[in-house]
Amino acid sequence: MKRQINPFDYAGDICKALPKGILLTTKRGEEINSMTIGWGTMGVDWSLPMFIVYVRESRYTKQLLEENGEFTINVPMGEVDKNILSICGTKSGRDMNKIEELGLHLEEPMSVSVPGIKELPLTLECKVLYKQQQDLSAIPQKILDRYYPVEDDTLHPGSDRDYHICYYGQILKAYIIED
Ligand SMILES: Cc1cc2nc3c(=O)[nH]c(=O)nc-3n(C[C@H](O)[C@H](O)[C@H](O)COP(=O)(O)O)c2cc1C
């Protein structure tokens, strides 16, 4: 069962959950994939409620988002099995089916093709309205050095020149999955 909510009533909960990790779930055909995200922005753009995600070029999630510009945001409420955020944040959907491996329970969506996840019940259904590749010339050097090291690939393996794309998802529905 879903209890529909005003997403902005939960903006604080969502933003506080982000540093520990929430999930970004995508779907292509019958394939469903979740990845952990620690960055996200919630607000209003073009007078529409929006959730922006920041996805590196190398993520499998990027491929799915490019092919089906719909996603759900899945936020824990209370305790969550840390293994979920850990596996979804370190393993790629290219190599395994994370949903099956973790035994996650899916919730039928209302307005998009991508399901919610019962274990992370606070759900935003989003449709990509706009995307933006980062303008590297506008990023402060300190941040370039920290997050996009060109010479030194040891601190953040695989992040060398692996920039983020911002996907602006219009929030179409927001709800909490309840039993
Ligand atoms: C706490 C945490 C936060 C993360 N935040 C992001 C993020 O905001 N953007 C991103 O591109 N990757 C982020 N990652 C890394 C992805 O979750 C990770 O590379 C994942 O394996 C990608 O899965 P995929 O290849 O199935 O898309 C984060 C990982 C963790 C553990």
CATH no. for residue 51? Answer: 2.30.110.10
pLDDT of residue 25: 98
pLDDT digits 0-9 by tens, 15-57:
999 999 999 999 999 999 999 999 999 999 999 999 999 999 9
Ligand 1 centre to CA of 20 (Å) is 12
pLDDT of residue 160: 53
In this prediction, residue 95 carries a pLDDT of: 97
| Cβ 76 under 6 angstroms from ligand 1 | no
How confident is the model at residue 39, as a pLDDT? 97
Q: Residue 156: what pLDDT?
A: 52
Which pLDDT score, from 0 to 100, does residue 99 have? Answer: 98
Ligand 1: does its nearest atom lie under 6 Å from the Cβ of 93? yes
Give residue 179's pLDDT: 79
3-class SS at 162?
Answer: coil
**Cα of 79 to ligand 1 centre, how many Å?**
20
- Tell me the C-alpha distance between 179 and 166, whole Å: 34
Low-confidence stretches of the chain (pLDDT beneath 70): 151-161
Domain that holds residue 19: 2-177
What pLDDT is stored for residue 30 in this prediction?
95
pLDDT value, residue 161: 66
| Ligand 1 pocket, mutate which of 15, 26, 36 (most atoms under 8 A from CB) | 36
Rounded CA gap, 35 and 108, in Å? 19
For residue 26, what are its two tokens? 């995508």
Inter-CA distances, 82 with 13, 28, 72, 86, 179, Å? 18, 26, 19, 6, 21
Q: Number of folded domains in the chain?
A: 1
120 vs 162: CA distance, rounded Å:
28
